[in-house]
């Protein structure tokens, strides 16, 4: 069986190769036409823009959404959007991010466009942009987003991200206080008691961005000596921890801990000091060949608006708007999103992670 990191890099390489093959295709001209229409729209005064966007979206009448999102959560977003804009219907196509990305690139190459919208992790946006498969969309709503959720070129429009927290089994720890900082994880009493995902490369990127490369790698090497319990999937790690396999997982999504607590599991979590690592943001992009570009733009604007963000916040997401709520009081914590430079350095990051934790 191939290790998880090899599978990860293989998938990333496949879509990168496809993108390179499509880079100089003639369909780039169509991308420009979509971009030009959207740019003209975004240069309008606010009220005029809103009226023009809704008028054209009403005429187009539908959106095809390639969604790397759980069907139940996407359904809540769709219902909220369609209740606000009943003249636009969303055709939802769920699936894995890599597979949907490949499908979008094939559509771009063959000029057989179906998708209007694709949402995926930020590291894939550069691949799509270099291929000409997605259009820039500089919606005015970008001004309301947190740092790290947009780019200067107009391709990245982040909708949410997922922090990583320390989960602990309340029964197994007993009177022991859980670790609260990264330095606490190095205490000898936690040896063989910590869980970590085998593919949490974003976690390492956040450490390097915060501490600097040398200090972060030094910390990683010390942490590796704690003889960690590795599994693939933070969800699996959380389930094993509450089942008593080990008491602590250091990279779990807080909404999953909340779900476990509601189900009566002995689980709680800590927001780490001096910063909280955050997974690379989930973004939404408009296809450069979108059959319904104005309806797509209306949907993107909804996802970035306060009403749309409130739907995702209620699902436990840390949303991209500065005024977005979160189910946990972050208490002014430093939220460390991996910098965009990592999007082009995935191979380096994976190799560094595997080297530190001997996962080859």
pLDDT tens string 176-232: 899 999 999 999 999 999 999 999 999 999 999 999 999 999 999 999 999 999 999
CA distance 290 to 348: 34
Look at residues 206, 209, 203 and name the one whose alpha carbon lies nearest to residue 250: 203
Crossing angle of the two packed helices 293-304 and 306-314, in degrees rounded to 10: 60
pTM of the model: 0.86
- The reply to whether 215 and 126 lie within a common domain is no
First to last CA, the chain: 12
- The reply to whether 119 and 238 lie within a common domain is no
List, for residues 216-233, the tens digit of each pLDDT value. Answer: 999 999 999 999 999 999
- The reply to whether 211 and 253 lie within a common domain is yes
Q: Which CATH number covers residue 42? A: 3.40.190.10
Strands 62-67, 89-94: pairing is: parallel
**pLDDT beyond 80 at 2:** no
- The reply to whether 11 and 124 lie within a common domain is yes
Within a domain: 50 = yes
Can you spell out the DSSP letters for 325-337? --SS--TT--EEP
- The reply to whether 156 and 175 lie within a common domain is no
- The reply to whether 108 and 18 lie within a common domain is yes
The whole domain housing 97 covers: 4-160+280-328
- The reply to whether 151 and 217 lie within a common domain is no
Within a domain: 336 = no
Reduced to 3 states (helix: H, G, I; strand: E, B; else coil), residue 226 is coil
List, for residues 301-325, the tens digit of each pLDDT value. Answer: 999 999 999 999 999 899 999 999 9
Crossing angle of the two packed helices 346-357 and 201-211, in degrees rounded to 10: 90
Within a domain: 324 = yes
- The reply to whether 100 and 141 lie within a common domain is yes
Within a domain: 341 = no
86: CB partners within 8 A, 6+ apart: none
- The reply to whether 12 and 86 lie within a common domain is yes
- The reply to whether 98 and 228 lie within a common domain is no
- The reply to whether 144 and 268 lie within a common domain is no
Report the domain count for the chain: 2
Look at residues 130, 122, 124 and name the one whose alpha carbon lies nearest to residue 156: 122
- The reply to whether 12 and 111 lie within a common domain is yes
Sequence length of the chain is 360
């Amino acid at each position: 069986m191939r290790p998880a990191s090899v599978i990860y890099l293989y998938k990333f390489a496949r879509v990168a190769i496809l993108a390179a093959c499509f880079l100089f295709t003639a369909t780039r001209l169509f991308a420009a036409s979509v971009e030009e229409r959207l740019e003209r729209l975004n240069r309008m005064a606010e009220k005029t823009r809103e009226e023009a966007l809704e008028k054209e979206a009403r005429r187009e009448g539908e959106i095809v959404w390639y969604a790397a999102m759980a069907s139940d959560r996407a359904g809540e977003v769709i219902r909220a959007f369609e209740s606000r804009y009943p003249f636009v219907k969303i055709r939802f196509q769920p699936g894995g991010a890599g597979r949907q990305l490949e499908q979008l690139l094939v559509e771009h190459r063959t000029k057989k466009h179906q998708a209007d919208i694709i949402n995926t992790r930020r590291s894939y946006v550069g691949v799509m942009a270099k291929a000409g498969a997605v259009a820039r969309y500089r919606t005015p709503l970008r001004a309301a987003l947190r740092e790290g959720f947009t780019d200067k070129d107009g391709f990245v429009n982040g909708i949410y991200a997922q922090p990583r927290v320390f989960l602990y089994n309340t029964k197994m720890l007993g009177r022991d206080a859980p670790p609260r900082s990264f330095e606490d994880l190095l205490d000898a009493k936690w040896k063989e008691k910590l869980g970590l995902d085998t593919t949490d490369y974003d976690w390492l990127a956040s450490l390097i961005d915060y501490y600097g490369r040398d200090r972060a790698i030094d910390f990683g090497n010390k942490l590796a000596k704690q003889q960690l319990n590795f599994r693939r999937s933070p969800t699996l790690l959380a389930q094993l921890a509450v089942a008593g396999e080990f008491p602590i997982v250091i990279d779990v999504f807080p909404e999953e801990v909340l779900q476990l607590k509601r189900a009566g599991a002995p689980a709680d979590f800590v927001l780490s000091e001096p910063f909280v690592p955050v997974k690379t943001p989930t973004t939404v992009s408009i296809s450069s060949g979108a059959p319904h570009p104005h309806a797509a733009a209306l949907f993107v604007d909804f996802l970035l608006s306060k009403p749309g963000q409130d739907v995702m916040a209620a699902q436990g997401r840390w949303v991209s708007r500065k005024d977005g709520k979160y189910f946990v009081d972050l208490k002014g914590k430093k939220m460390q999103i991996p910098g965009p430079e990592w999007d082009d350095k995935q191979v380096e990051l994976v190799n560094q992670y595997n080297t530190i934790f001997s996962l080859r």
